[in-house]
């Protein structure tokens, strides 16, 4: 398996590797180091190897931090040139234009390629768009050497609807071209939602609809779990909202913090990977300005299999996400985690999650970025939490299908459909 991050914090990748290894596959998961340091460890029966990428992310972040306003001003000045570059290289190279527009993608090839070749896998599971090309080229090299290799592409998002990861005009068209070039190389495609499966089939003219493997949590009960309320320093009687996951502006956490002055006594737990990011610092500054800083508690991640039990100590889970194409089309990981924690969910009116909450009755919906609307929804769930929690215990409730165990069966079937004729069992 291949992923363009350090594995820690990516629950889908971890669950896929662990469950595949438990099912009997010989799994090596390759990620890339955010610090430039190689390391390895076990994840269940899967081997995890973290490889140092060309330019460490920490160094890039330090350079941006030092440049500050000057870099941003230079970027704005270069924007017309970048648009011209996109038009030129698209006209000259078509989908091969990414080689000129985003040459940094080759860093992944240089880092992962030799390791994949040495592993000589029978199947390559490429997570997300950056690893698609890496996996496709490795499979092509293996086939040229006389070995048959299957390539599975795991599409985590709809790239045309994604926010650019960097502030330049080349980023999105370059990555779209990269994805288009290598999608035909995939022997099978899996993805995270029914709607995204349909979008991908239309976008890439796929002969077969992608298999949906939901980002559901594991149903197995973990051992001892850290105490969320203890980490926040709040008692059982204190109303506690929880948010778990990536903390960025488009996730809408400003709406939650700005609503706290109108929700007396309500606390907020922010379960985030890194509480020192600029966005988190700005959020805490807002809380301080609004005199609610003592009610906002950044706390760290726990292991993926512990998340639902960890979150269950809260009174409600919040998903205040902004409208963005990719936010509209899936039930995201935290939605399933809150559900397995049997929490009432307060979600913005992004299409798929709002429709699900309205259909099941497991929470309340509010207009995205509407602070007063969010506060009204929170008051509703805190006034009668049993009404919302009862959904999870109903005989026809949604939880049975919302487990990773159920999704792992689907993923295993994809692997076996590709490799059964030769009886091969090694996957990277």
Domains (range + CATH), the chain: 11-216+406-427 (3.40.50.2000), 228-401 (3.40.50.2000)
The better pLDDT of the pair 267, 219 is held by: 267
The conformational region for residue 63 under phi > 0 = left, psi -120 to 50 = alpha, else beta, is alpha
pLDDT band at 69, cuts 50/70/90?
low
pLDDT tens string 334-375:
999 999 999 999 999 999 999 999 999 999 999 999 999 999
pLDDT score for 70: 62
Distance CA 358, CA 342 (A): 16
- Per-residue model confidence (pLDDT) at position 305: 85
Residue 62 binned pLDDT confidence (cut-offs 50, 70, 90): very low
Residue 175 pLDDT class (50, 70, 90 cuts): very high
pLDDT reading at 202 higher than 80: yes
User: Does the pLDDT value for residue 420 go beyond 80?
Assistant: no
Mean pLDDT over 198-223 rounds to 92
Predicted confidence band of residue 216 (pLDDT cuts 50, 70, 90):
very high
Hey, what are 383's tokens? 């006034």
The rounded distance, in Å, linking the Cα atoms of 116 and 1 is: 10
Beta bridge partners of 270: 243, 298
Question: Quick one: pLDDT at residue 56?
Answer: 43
- Write out pLDDT tens, residues 307-344: 999 999 999 999 999 998 889 999 999 999 999 999 99
Contact 188/152 with Cβ under 8 angstroms?
yes
Closest CA to 288 of 318, 260, 316: 260
Confidence of residue 423 (pLDDT cuts 50, 70, 90): very low
Query: Do the Cβ atoms of 388 and 344 come closer than 8 Å?
Result: yes
Check residue 168 and give its pLDDT: 86
The predicted model scores a pTM of 0.87
What the block records as the tokens of 114 is 């030799």
Q: Which residues contact 74 (CB under 8 A, 6 or more apart)?
A: none
Residue-level pLDDT at 63: 39
Q: What is the mean pLDDT of the chain?
A: 92
């Amino acid at each position: 398996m291949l992923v363009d991050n350090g594995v820690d914090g990516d629950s889908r990748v971890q669950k896929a590797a662990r469950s595949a290894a438990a099912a009997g596959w010989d799994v090596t998961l390759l990620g890339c180091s955010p610090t430039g340091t190689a390391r390895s460890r076990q994840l269940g029966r899967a081997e995890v190897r973290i490889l140092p990428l060309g330019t460490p992310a920490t160094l890039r972040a330090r350079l941006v931090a030092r440049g500050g306003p000057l870099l941003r001003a230079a970027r704005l000045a270069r924007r017309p040139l970048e648009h011209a570059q996109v038009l030129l290289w698209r006209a000259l190279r078509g989908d091969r234009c990414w080689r000129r527009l985003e040459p940094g993608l080759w860093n992944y090839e240089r880092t992962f390629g030799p390791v994949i070749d040495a592993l000589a896998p029978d199947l390559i599971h490429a997570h997300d768009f950056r690893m698609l090309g890496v996996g496709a080229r490795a499979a092509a090299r293996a086939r040229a050497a006389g070995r048959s290799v299957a390539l599975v592409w795991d599409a985590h998002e709809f790239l045309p609807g994604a926010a650019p990861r960097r502030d330049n005009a080349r980023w999105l068209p370059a990555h779209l071209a990269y994805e288009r070039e290598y999608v035909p190389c995939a022997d099978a495609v899996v993805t995270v939602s029914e709607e995204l499966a349909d979008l991908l089939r239309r976008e890439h003219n796929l002969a077969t609809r992608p298999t949906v493997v939901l980002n559901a949590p594991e149903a197995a009960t973990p051992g001892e779990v850290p105490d969320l309320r203890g980490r926040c320093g709040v008692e059982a009687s204190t109303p506690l909202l929880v948010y778990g996951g990536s903390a960025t502006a488009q996730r809408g956490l400003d709406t939650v913090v700005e609503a706290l002055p109108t929700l007396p006594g309500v606390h907020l737990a922010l379960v985030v990977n890194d509480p020192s990011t600029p966005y988190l610092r700005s959020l805490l500054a807002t809380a301080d300005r609004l005199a609610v800083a003592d009610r906002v508690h950044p706390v760290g991640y726990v292991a993926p299999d512990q998340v639902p039990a960890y979150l269950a100590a809260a009174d409600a889970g919040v998903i205040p996400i902004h409208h963005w194409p990719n936010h509209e089309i899936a039930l995201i990981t935290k939605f399933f985690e809150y559900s397995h924690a049997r929490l009432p969910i307060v979600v913005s009116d992004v299409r798929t999650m709002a429709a699900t909450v309205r259909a099941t009755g497991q929470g309340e919906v509010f207009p995205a970025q509407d602070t007063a609307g969010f506060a009204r929804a929170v008051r509703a769930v805190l006034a009668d939490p049993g009404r919302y929690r009862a959904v999870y215990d109903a005989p026809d409730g949604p939880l049975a299908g919302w487990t990773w165990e159920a999704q792992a069966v689907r993923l295993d079937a994809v692997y076996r459909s590709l490799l059964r004729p030769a009886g091969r069992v090694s996957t990277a």
